[in-house]
Structures are given as C-alpha cells and as structure tokens.
Amino acid sequence: MRQIFFDTETTGLQAEGGDRIIEIGCVEMINRQLTGNNLHLYINPQRASHEDALRVHGLTEAFLSDKPLFSQIAEQLLEFLAGAELVIHNAPFDIGFVNAELKRLRKPPITDVVGSVRDTLLMARDMFPGKANSLDALCRRLEVDNSNRKLHGALLDAELLAEVYIRLTRGQDSLVMDDSGDEGSDSNEFRVAAVDLRSFQLPVPQASEEELAAHEKVLLELDKASGGKRVWKASEQISA
C-alpha cells in the first residue's frame, strides 16, 4: 500500500475566506516503510499571513515572494499524490484548503485523484477519548521525539505524523520494519507460541548444614539484640 503523510501550512484558517496554502509536505510510505521519496513545496500565496498564523509557521511574506504560485505546482502535486492513501491529522482542514486551491484552477477535488483519505485525529480520538490529541500531544504520549518542532513546518509535521501513525497502528518503537513479510498475510504481527508451564519442574535448592547453622547464629544474635522480642518466634511455635 502506498501512503502519503500530508500536511500544509496556510496564511490563516479560512480556506473559503481567501486564505491560501503556503507550504506542503508529503512523506511517502510503501507497505509501512518510509521510502525517502518525499515532496516539499513552498508556495507564494500573493497575500500576507494573519499574525496568529505567522507566529505558528514563521513563513514571512518576503520569504515566500519568490516562490512558485499554486497554479505552477498543482500538476506536480497531483501527480505525486495520485492513487495514494492520504494520511492527515485533522484531514478536513488540509483537504478543504487543497480543494479551494484546485477550485480556483477549475480542477476536480483532491478526493478524485487520491485513493482514500485517513484522518489520524479521528483515530486518536477513538483510542484516547477525552484526552488531548493534537500532534504535539500524541508525540508526547507515544514518545515520538518532536524536540526540533520549534515552529510548525509541513514536511517536519508530516514526518512526525508518519512516526505517530506507526505507533498508533502497531505500537512499535521505530519505523525500522522487517521486510520478510508476505503482503497477503498478517506477517508483520509478532506472535509468541504458547508454552505450557506445567511441563517444567522447577528445582528447589536445599540449605546445607553449614548454611543452616550460620542462619541460626544470625537469628540468635538478633534475638539477643532485641531483648528476646524476636517476632518470628511466635509464628515458629504456632507452625510447630
């Protein structure tokens, strides 16, 4: 299965209100293994970002001024995404922005191009109901290192999402996968054969005469030091 972990940065929150995409990050995974075939694009939105959005991503109007327009990268993006499953955290937000950009170019929605869309926010809410399920919260909960995430960045966030997704769906500690599995089977699951412990006879070591004598000597010394108040005396007499 070919999956693309997808994230965008935008000038604001309102796709239908004129806000635009300024950065796209795509991380490719095939059969649960990262391929390194990623796509990272900066885009000139031809407008300034809202102050709140700028504090989140740090991509200034000056930095983006010489970057291509969305119309210039649209075909490259669609070709890269074609047929894949998009994995997105809070998918309606990113899908809404991509579709708004495509609509301006009189192109069909992104869902006509990709195979399917999976929303990891919905997955996380099912697994951790009532808890914070932002990407940062999931990184902390699933022990994914996001120490480099000082500002939001589309490619970095897509890479973090890939690691979060692996842990959400398998609980493993890294993206290092064995490649010996048969795609038609559930061979990526780790199974342990059941063992009947009744078949084992556990050895019971016995103390030697010297060890018993040394033990009794220690008990007598403790009894003397406590003034004859050794608490296990009573239990020994009762059991006798």
Catalytic residues: 152
CA separation, residue 46 to residues 7, 38, 42, 43, 66 (Å): 20, 25, 12, 9, 10
- Integer Cα distance of 12 and 10 in angstroms: 5
4, containing H or E segment: strand 2-10
DSSP string, 65-127: TTSPPHHHHHHHHHHHHTTPEEEETTHHHHHHHHHHHHHHTT---GGGTSSEEEEHHHHHHHH
Taking 3-state DSSP, the helix, strand and coil percentages for the chain, each rounded to the nearest 5, stand at 40, 15, 45
Q: What is the CA radius of gyration of the chain?
A: 30
